[in-house]
Amino acid sequence: MAEIVKALLIDFNAKTGKRAADINPRDPKLPCHGWQDLESTPAREIRLVEDGRDLSSYKGVPGVIILENADAINLAIDELVPERYQVVNEALMLEHLRQEDIKLRDYKGQDINSILKDLYGQGIVGITRRKPEHVIR
């Protein structure tokens, strides 16, 4: 990803798609790259600013935060987008669980990402961790 200097952290209604300050989610110079938190209310996303537009009209606007540099953008990404865990080889994972005598029923009521995070932390094979991509500094 090329060096990006600024981004917008935007609140939006996940049901209607309406963004704070009426920001257009289809603006080709404001890509999101999947940096969204759809679980919060309002939902939130980070959109890179890929052109030299003047962002001063967003200062102080409720639901919009201007991120001025790569460090601020990367920090916001880390806070907004959780690491995701995924089963990449179910047979290996299940065999390793059997060998370690780990019962999935012990995780009853937990969400799948939390379960996989715990299993990954225990070194169970067949699970990967995916961190959100950062912008280049």
Average pLDDT, the chain: 93
pLDDT at 87: 97
Share of the chain above pLDDT 70, in %: 96
pLDDT of residue 1: 46
Q: Could you tell me the sign of the dihedral formed by the alpha carbons of 32, 7, 39, 14, in that order?
A: negative
Q: Using alpha carbons, list the distances in angstroms from residue 32 to 18, 28, 89, 93.
A: 15, 10, 30, 33
Rounded Cα distance between 46 and 81, Å, is: 10
pLDDT attached to residue 137: 59
pLDDT in tens, 70-106: 999 999 999 999 889 999 999 999 999 999 999 999 9
Please tell me the predicted confidence (pLDDT) of residue 3.
54
Residue 119 has pLDDT above 90, yes or no: yes
Question: Looking at residues 116-120, what average pLDDT do you find?
Answer: 97
List the end-to-end C-alpha distance of the chain, in Å, as a whole number.
Answer: 10
pLDDT digits (tens, 9 = 90+) for 37-66: 988 999 999 999 999 899 999 999 999 999
